[in-house]
Structure 1
Amino acid sequence: MSLIHAASEAAFGGTGADCLSRATQLVCELFLNSGSGVEEIVRRYYAEVHSWFPIIQEDVEHFLSSTIPTNLGDHGHLLLSMYLASHPLCEHMNHVADSPLYLITRQMFLVMQALSTMSIRLLQSGLLIAVYEFGHGLTKKAQHTVSSCLAIYRSLVASQCDQEPSSDKDMSGIKACWQSIILLDRLTIFSKIIDDVTTTQTLFQQDSLSWESICSSSILPSFTSHPNAKGKFLDMEMGTSNFSMLYRVSILAGDVFEHVAQAAAGREPSTLYKDLEKEISLITCNMIEEAGTASTKFCESIALALCSLLLLQLFRTTCQLKSHIAGEDNIALETTKRMVLDMNRTASYILQTNDSSAMSLVGICCVCSAGVLLVLASQRGHQISLADSDLATIRFNLEALNRRWGIGVSRSGSRPRWLVLNSDNDNNIARNIKVYMYL
C-alpha cells in the first residue's frame, strides 16, 4: 500500500484523493480534446445501457450538470467506464477485447480501490467495467472485478452505519449496485459453464464434480437461507422495469445453481426441482406475454431466465440418462429449446443489423450461452435435435461475440467480427492517460 501511495504522490504530488481528482479531470480534458464530448458519452450511455442497468440514479440532465469540465469531481473515471459499457459494436477483425483503453480503465479502478478512495462512483465504475468484461468474454477478469465491487459495497455499507442516515437517493443507488453485483455474479457463472463445456466437455458426461464445482462458485452467500431476500413475483405488475426483472431472475438463477450443486454432491436440494422449474417457467411466460411479440422489452431478463431454465432441465436429464427420461420432462425441455432458438434468431438479426439498442450485449451473451448448451446437449445423448439452420444461427452469434466454437463443428472461413472499441482515437486516449498518470 505504501508503494501505491508513493506512486500517487510522485505522479500528482498528493494523496490518493488528489490522485483521483487530478486523474478524473485529465480524463475529461482528453475526451474533449479527442472530439468525444462528455455530453455525447453520457447521452449514449443513458440511451443504450441505463434502461436495463440503471445503477446511476440521476436523470441524464442532472448527471450532465454535475459533470461540467470545470466541476468534474469524481466523475472522470465513471465517464471512462460509461464509455466502455456503451461503445458501439465493432466489426474490425484486428481489434481485441483487451484494448488499451479497457486495460487502463481497469488499472485506474484497481489503483483507486487500493488507495481506499471508496465512493459510490467508484463502485458504479467497477460494475460497468464488469459489464464490458462479461460482454466481451473476459470471464475471469469479470469475476475478479465483481469481487472488487463486492468489497467496495461492503465498505460503503459499513461506513453508512457510522454516519447520519443517507438520503433516499443515496440508499437507492447503493441498493441498485447490490442488485447489480448479484446479477453479474450469476452472469459470470454462466460464462464459466460455457467455458467448461466448450473445453473439457465434462458437464454432459455425468461428471457430478464438475457440475458441483462450477455451480457453487458464486462469490455471494446462499439466498435460500434468507427467505425474505426473495419476494413472490409470479404475478407481473404493469410497468415493472427490466432491471427489476433482471434482479428477480438472477435470484432464481442462484437457486438453480444451488439446486444443481447440492444434487450433484448427493445432498437433498433446498428447493424441489418441480417447484423451481415451475417458478422460472411461469415468470418467463409472464415476461414474454407482457413484452408482446413485436417488442424487445425484458429481452435480457427473458434470456437469463431461459438460460437458467435450460441449465436446470439439462442437469435433470443428464442425471436421468441411465434411466428413462420422463415424458413431461422431455416436453418441457423441447418447449425451452424452441424459445431459446427463437431468441437466438432475434440476436442474430440484431448482430447483423448492428442494432445494439434493441438488445444489450449482456442479453445476447445469455442467448448465446443457452445456444451452446443446446448444441452440446444434442451431441451428448440428450433427446434434442437441431436443424442445420439452427446450428448456423448459433454459430454466427458465437463468432460475432468472439466465443470459441468448440463443439465439433469447423470454424467458417471468414474471421469473426470483434465487438470491441473501434477507434485509433480510443488507443490515443488510453496512451495519454497512462503517460500523465505514470501507471
Structure 2
Amino acid sequence: MPLAKDLIPVTEKASNVCAYCRVRKQSCDRTLPQCSRCARIGNKCDYTFDRKPWVSPRNISEPIVVHYAPCLHADLSPQGVSVLVRAFTECTISSCDSYAQPIFTDLVREILGLADVDLRGALEEFNLCFQTWLPIMPQEALCGFGDDISQHDSCNGGVKRPILWLCLWLLTKNTCSNRNHIVGSGLYRAIKQITVIFPSLSDFTEDLLRINLLIAVFELGHGLHVPAYQTMTCCVTLMGRLIFHGPRNADCLRVEKIQSFGTGVLTLDCLLAISTTTELMPLTVASDGILSKVVTPSKTGNISTTTSLVSGHVMEYVFARSQNLEPDETYGEVDEVISGCIKMLIDEPQPHSRSHCDATGMAICSSIVLHASQTRYLNALLYSVHNNEPLMSTYITSRLTLAHSRRMAWDMVKAAIHKVRSEDDILSLSFAGLCCVLRAGLVVLDTAELVEK
C-alpha cells in the first residue's frame, strides 16, 4: 500500500487526435474513451485514423466568387463551383459523423461574405414573397436563424442548413439583364450537382425536397421551364417517399409537415403549368393522384391548397386540348368548378390576406386560360365543319365568356400595376401572385383577335 502512493497515475491516450478536433484544427488531449472537449459538449468522439484532411485547392489567380461588370452580378466562378462541390463531397464521406463537420459550413460562410449576401434580408424576403404559398422553410430559420451560420455548424442541420442559405441566395439575389449570367450561373450548377450527391436516404428526404422546391422556383422564375418540370418531377417523387416512407414517430408533426410540403408542391406545380406559354406540359401531380387526396384543404386550412386543386383540373383540360386528346372532364364541369372558386374568393370579406390575393390571382388566371383554350378549340372546329348552327352558337357563347374573363383579368392587371410604383415595390409582392397576374395579362393580349373578329 505505501508503494501505491508513490506511483504516478497514467492516463491512456489515443494515438491520434479525434475527428472533431482535427477538422477544427483545435488541440485535443486524446483522452480515451473521450477527449475532454467532446465529453464537455456530449459529442461522439471518433479516434478513427483519417487520411490527411482535405485542403481547398484555391487558385489565387481565380477567386471563388466573381462580380460581373457592369451589372456587379455576384456568382460562383468555375473554381468556386469545383471547390464547393468537392467540399460537400468530402464532407459527406470523410467520417461517420460527416454532417457535423464545419468544412462545408466555413466555405459557405466565406462565399456568402465575398458575395455580400445579407442572409437576414434574404430570409425576410422569402417570408414575404414565398412562405405564404410555399410553407417549407423551418420556422427557426424565419425567426432569425440565419444571423450567423457559424454558430450552427455542428447541430440542427449540419451541412444541410448551409445548403439552404445557398438556395436562398440563388432565389433572392437580383436578376441580371444578361441571360447567360442566369442560365449559366455557377451557383445554380453547383447546387444542382449537390442535390445529386446529397444522400437519398429517407432520413434526408425532407431536406432534399426543400432544396429541390427552391431550385424549381428559381427555374420557373427565370423561364427555365423544362429544367423546372424535371425538378418538379423529382419533388413529387420525394413527396411520395415522405408520405409512405417517412419516420412514423411524432405523427401530428409529421402530418403537419406533409400538408405544408404538399401545399407547396401543388401550388408550384400549377404555377409551372399556368406560366408555360408554348409547348404545354402536363401536371406532375394528377388531380386524382394520391398527393391530391392526402393534401386536403380541410387539413391544411390553406386557401392556396383549394385553389391549386381546382386550377389543376383546368390545366389538365387545357393540356388535353392542346394535344388533341379528349379531356377526362367536360368543359362545363371544369368551368363550373373554377367559377365557383372565383365566386368564393370574391365573396370573402375584407381585408384580404396575402394568401387570399395569391389564390384569387391563380383562379382568375386559370379561368382566362381555360376560356381562351376552349374558344381556340371551337374556332378550329368551325373551319373543319361548315353550316353547323349548334356549334356556331356554342362558339359565340364561348367568345362572350372569354370577353367577360378578359375584363376580369385586365382589371386584376391594372390593380397590380397601381401597386408597383418602383422596382423596390416588386420585392414586397408575392411571387405566385405576380406570376399569375403577368400570365393573365399575356392571355388578354393574345386573345384580342378571338374576341374582336
Which interval holds the TM-score relative to the shorter structure?
0.5 to 0.7
* Aligned counterpart for 1:313 among listed residues 342, 363, 371: 371
Q: Is residue 302 of structure 2 the alignment partner of residue 219 of structure 1?
A: no
For 1:330, the equivalent position in structure 2 comes to 399
Q: Is residue 442 of structure 2 the alignment partner of residue 372 of structure 1?
A: yes
> 1:139 Cα deviation (Å)?
0.8
For 1:177, the equivalent position in structure 2 comes to 261
Maintained 8 Å contact 2:87/2:104:
no
1: distance between equivalents of 2:258 and 2:438?
30
For 1:424, the equivalent position in structure 2 comes to none
For 1:137, the equivalent position in structure 2 comes to 223
Maintained 8 Å contact 1:135/1:362:
no
* Aligned counterpart for 1:187 among listed residues 265, 271, 285: 271
Maintained 8 Å contact 1:118/1:156:
no
Q: Is residue 148 of structure 2 the alignment partner of residue 64 of structure 1?
A: no
1: distance between equivalents of 2:182 and 2:88?
32
For 2:338, the equivalent position in structure 1 comes to 280
Aligned CA distance change for structure 1 residues 364 and 95 (closer, same or farther; 3 Å): farther
> 1:56 Cα deviation (Å)?
2.3
Maintained 8 Å contact 1:344/1:371:
yes
Aligned CA distance change for structure 1 residues 8 and 14 (closer, same or farther; 3 Å): farther
Maintained 8 Å contact 1:84/1:102:
yes
Aligned CA distance change for structure 1 residues 28 and 158 (closer, same or farther; 3 Å): farther
1:179-202 deviation digits (Å, cap 9, x = unpaired): 22222222222333x024xxxxxx
Aligned CA distance change for structure 1 residues 66 and 48 (closer, same or farther; 3 Å): same
* Aligned counterpart for 1:18 among listed residues 71, 74, 98: 98
Q: What is the one-letter code of the residue matched to 2:134?
A: F
Aligned CA distance change for structure 1 residues 182 and 271 (closer, same or farther; 3 Å): same
For 1:271, the equivalent position in structure 2 comes to 329
Maintained 8 Å contact 2:362/2:433:
yes
> 1:28 Cα deviation (Å)?
3.3
Maintained 8 Å contact 1:81/1:129:
yes
> 1:225 Cα deviation (Å)?
9.1
1:377-436 deviation digits (Å, cap 9, x = unpaired): 223xx1258xxxxxxxxxxxxxxxxxxxxxxxxxxxxxxxxxxxxxxxxxxxxxxxxxxx
Maintained 8 Å contact 1:310/1:370:
yes
Identity of aligned residues (%): 21
1: distance between equivalents of 2:295 and 2:115?
46
For 1:155, the equivalent position in structure 2 comes to 241
> 1:40 Cα deviation (Å)?
3.5
Maintained 8 Å contact 1:296/1:358:
no
> 1:337 Cα deviation (Å)?
0.4
Q: What is the one-letter code of the residue matched to 1:195?
A: T
2: distance between equivalents of 1:230 and 1:171?
9
Select the structure with the greater relative contact order (CA < 8 A; seq sep ≥ 6): 1
1: distance between equivalents of 2:364 and 2:120?
36
2: distance between equivalents of 1:17 and 1:114?
17
| Aligned CA-pair RMSD | 3.8
2: distance between equivalents of 1:281 and 1:257?
14
Q: Tell me the TM-score normalized by structure 1.
A: 0.66
> 1:8 Cα deviation (Å)?
7.2
Maintained 8 Å contact 1:300/1:363:
yes
Where in structure 2 are there 5+ consecutive unaligned residues? Answer: 1-84, 383-390
Q: What is the one-letter code of the residue matched to 2:426?
A: S
Secondary structure of the residue aligned to 2:250 is: coil
Where in structure 1 are there 5+ consecutive unaligned residues? Answer: 1-5, 197-213, 234-239, 386-439
Maintained 8 Å contact 2:338/2:363:
yes
- Greater CA deviation, 116-125 or 76-85? 116-125
Tell me the matched-pair count: 348
1: distance between equivalents of 2:240 and 2:377?
39
For 2:207, the equivalent position in structure 1 comes to 121
> 1:125 Cα deviation (Å)?
1.6
Computing the radius of gyration from Cα coordinates, the structure with the larger value is 2
